[in-house]
Structure 1
Amino acid sequence: MTLKLGTEIPGTSADGNITTLWVPTIKDIKAPTMAELEAGTDISNYVMLGGWSFDPSQDAVSDQRENAVQNFGAPGRKSAGDISIEVIDNTNTEHQEQNEAVTLMHEGASGYIVRRRGIATDTPLAVGQKLTVVSVICGEKQVINPDASTMIRSKIPLFAKAPGWESETAEISNPKG
């Protein structure tokens, strides 16, 4: 199929269409259940715009044949890259009781970051929706020096603990587990 000039290609705004959860346990990273996801905490309101950093990459395996005039390749090891999340940090403020992201993701905490894109945040999770699920252990919270007119926030470094974290390859399974 050839794309014709002037063809309108629809797109979906990211605004209000991203949900982020912290989930304590997931048995199958590719098929989290509704019960597992409902046991998690929606931290979407704490995540700063552009604050999710997840840059997976894949090495190339060199395939150089003696009799060929070309080099070939194959997909190699995958890396989750530098993973972190920048969140509102209400430590020592009048809002410190509302600090779930920082409280849940303290250094040494293990869990799962679950991200859903393309569906309004206030739309409930449903069977069949595609997710990115990353099994992580949290590093030491890093306080971000404020700029003018910004919120108090921190960056939490995350480290991948288990395989299976490819972007949007997980699908919500059975309704309650």
Structure 2
Amino acid sequence: MGDIIVDGTVKVAYVPTIAALAAPTTTEINAGDDIDGFMTADGLVGFEPETAEVDTTALSSTFDTKRPGRASFSGTMLRIKKQTGTDTTYTTLVRGVEGYIVVRRYTAASAAWTAADKVAVYPIQCGERRDLAPEANTTARYEVPTMITSSPSLNAVVAA
């Protein structure tokens, strides 16, 4: 067994409509916008779940016990490179826009979305876009806060 190198193996799309989170279709995903090519290398921010602990220790216990509680995400956002000319991502992902972020990992990002792809689907609503301060030796960038509005499907499988 070998290590998985993540370079070039993360594909991200903004999709306006998905009927079944656990089984988005290739048609639904292809109707969205692939945005990974415009994102910075560290541009998928906060899309890692955290699980709260629930203390289940009894008064008579001699050992502290815990169970998993609520899962949550915090600080989710997309960091994107500003494009010249028509920048569809910049004009689409604005405050209040709802949709889905679909993430496929560990398959070449250049590969098309296909049935049986394992993906994570996050229902989101965009916050206020934030143009980042200019810096030397970098591209113009902006961030789009993406609040997760309901429970995501972290183990979805793309349907035909």
One-letter code aligned to 1:79 = S
Residue 170 of structure 1 corresponds to 156
| Counterpart among 87, 103, 106 of residue 94 in structure 2 | 106
The one-character-per-residue Cα deviations of 1:12-50 (angstroms, maximum 9, x if unpaired) are 221111111010011111111111111111111111101
2: CA distance, partners of 1:66 / 1:106 = 51
In structure 2, give the amino acid aligned to 1:160: I
**Counterpart code for 2:107:** I
> Where in structure 2 are the equivalents of 1:1-177 lying within 5 Å?
9-53=1-45, 54-90=47-83, 95-97=84-86, 99-166=87-154, 169-173=155-159, 175=160
Whole-angstrom CA distance in 2 between matches of 1:106 and 1:52: 17
Report the identity percentage: 26
3-state SS in 1 of match to 2:77: strand
Secondary structure at the aligned position of 1:78 is classed as strand
Q: Which runs of 4 or more aligned residues in structure 1 lie more than 6 Å from their structure 2 counterparts after TM superposition?
A: none
In structure 2, distance between residues paired with 1:102 and 1:55: 24
CA RMSD between the two structures: 1.3
| 8 A contact 1:43–1:100 mirrored in 2 | no
Instruction: Give, in angstroms, the shift of residue 75 of structure 1.
Output: 0.8
Question: 2: CA distance between counterparts of 1:127 and 1:109?
Answer: 27
User: Deviations for 1:55-112, whole angstroms, at most 9, x for unmatched residues?
Assistant: 321111110113321111111011121100100123xxxx231x12212211111011
* TM-score (normalised: structure 1): 0.85
Gaps of 5+ in 2: none
1:138, CA displacement in angstroms?
Answer: 0.3
Aligned length: 159
Give structure 1 stretches of 5+ with no counterpart.
1-8
